Structure 1
């Protein structure tokens, strides 16, 4: 029997609403900070399959979530495509060479950089109970491309947006290359034991509507079709953060099996406008989880009520913050568990 989370992603409304939290495996947990202090930097942890598996399991042990999300990073794909990847102390990720100044053809593929991730997935699946769903993930092509083109993160994604306008052929080649590796990567995670996968498009909200169609909806649709064809029955969750009203078109046109809803979207609107019966995931503001208190309980119950008539996975509108108190996560979990719709 599938766990409640997997059952919900497959379109069934069960007796209770399953939950997991984006970035639940990570730095808000004292056990994670202890292991990181022992093992070293972030990237070293990602490529240490024993440590990465332990980190993936930590929040499930502590909170009893219905899903375990792989501890890794969306930039493993460009690393496997041949860009150098570093995480400096107190800095964001850096990729070199940045593709705004270099041709895609200059990169030498290093597919073996994906193997440690598959080993992590296999370790976690072997350690989980059958009731707990293991989720793999990858970054969506647009979001990954913003880092590959600029060589780092940015506030407005200027370099990628400008390149997409100035030279859509060259930018499209980058998108296509990311797509191809992403399909292989997700299929590899599924072969290793992932039971569902999520496509994170964290910077989807930066694009104008026609560019959103071209660089978010179309690539995600191609990936969803390819993964569904290669791995029948494995749900694909699409999460285009910042999509706003474009979320309805994304849900209709990409063919994903479930859609993530960020905290800026009214759940009543989403329940009304998204395709009937489509499983939804979300959408508590991570800052409200950080703040806690009665408002956390009130808003959690509002979200549960709004999505009461369709399959719903409770989650945040984006990743959990590193300073989030453990007691607030426990309060959220208990509120969801005890809610009577």
Structure 2
């Protein structure tokens, strides 16, 4: 049964907290503040150092709000990067043209010792201020989302140290440096929790945990590498902020979500999964997803693909999103078509 929304509430929060359903569900897009927007590229050009950009308070506020000034999006997600954690703790991160992130080649044993001396919260003060400013400027009916990378995903970059990600090498590192691997995973679990709590205390309404490289972990290691750290993060947050809305995006492992269905989470679904199948797997859970970014990029069968997802999630509390981050070459007209289709319901 469809619910009529109180105009003083956030649609996406109605879905998560109260399990309300809408014919046109709340919607946002991963990487919605980004390179497909010409106004974003204009500001980005002023910051040769991407990580410096992530700590530039006023520009973070501006680019966070940009997509909501163009499209009828229900939530802003604070502009940042999952690699702020290692960067702040002492492993320098930078980006090169036509290359992913590169991380300083440092001794990771030394990194752990050095991290203990870092005033993590103080280093993150610009992010705190950016969140506060964004929340003050944001429409009260629009949610603000904070986020962090999950420990495994961050660790893959830290161990690879800027080289092309080779997950076999990362898993081999776990075998040959088991104590160090566990210490790093524990440290990142702690710091991801601290980062998310800082986002929450600064004014976000929802947080999302990105486990972008979950599919690289063999299924027999899911509990150790993926789910134990996740449980610790959620437990600590919910001890301090009971029932605070948390979305978990585990790319490539959606069919294993039943192993963590006891956790109070919204489950992010990637584009490789069928929403109806995941709905059967997690009948009591709020789901988020899962339009293919490739479909949005090409525009082929865009409207029918959106409607198929809406049909699959009819009468179910649901958040519409992409199955992965929006492609930087996506035409703005395709995004307009996406939201027009959502609003046609």
Q: TM-score range by the shorter chain?
A: over 0.9
1:132 aligns with 2:142: yes
SS of structure 2 residue aligned to 1:225: helix
Larger deviation, residues 13-22 vs 164-173: 164-173
Q: Deviations over 1:280-326 (max 9, x none)?
A: 00001101000114x11111111111112321100000100000000
1:109 aligns with 2:118: yes
CA distance in 2, matches of 1:13, 1:298: 24
1:283 alignment counterpart: 290
Larger deviation, residues 116-125 vs 88-97: 88-97
CA distance in 2, matches of 1:100, 1:182: 18
The answer to whether the 8 A contact 2:293-2:323 is kept is yes
Deviation of 1:113 (Å): 2.6
SS of structure 1 residue aligned to 2:315: coil
Larger deviation, residues 2-11 vs 133-142: 2-11
**Residues 14 and 245 of structure 1, relative CA distance in 2, 3 Å threshold:** closer
Q: Please report the TM-score for the alignment, with normalisation by the length of structure 2.
A: 0.92
CA distance in 1, matches of 2:97, 2:297: 24
Deviation of 1:106 (Å): 4.6
Match of 2:160 among 150, 165, 171: 150
The answer to whether the 8 A contact 2:61-2:133 is kept is yes
CA distance in 2, matches of 1:98, 1:315: 37
CA distance in 2, matches of 1:115, 1:8: 31
Match of 2:99 among 79, 86, 91: 91
Deviation of 1:155 (Å): 4.1
RMSD between aligned residues: 1.7
Q: Deviations over 1:245-286 (max 9, x none)?
A: 213223x15x14201000001111011111x32110000110
Runs (4+) of structure 1 moved beyond 3 Å?
38-41, 97-103, 153-156
Deviation of 1:101 (Å): 7.7
Match of 2:233 among 223, 232, 249: 223
1:324 aligns with 2:330: yes
Match of 1:13 among 20, 23, 26: 20
**Residues 138 and 114 of structure 1, relative CA distance in 2, 3 Å threshold:** same
Q: Deviations over 1:153-174 (max 9, x none)?
A: 6344233211223333321111
The answer to whether the 8 A contact 2:215-2:253 is kept is yes
SS of structure 2 residue aligned to 1:237: strand
Match of 2:255 among 245, 253, 257: 245
2:63 alignment counterpart: 55
Give the total of aligned pairs.
335
The answer to whether the 8 A contact 1:80-1:110 is kept is no
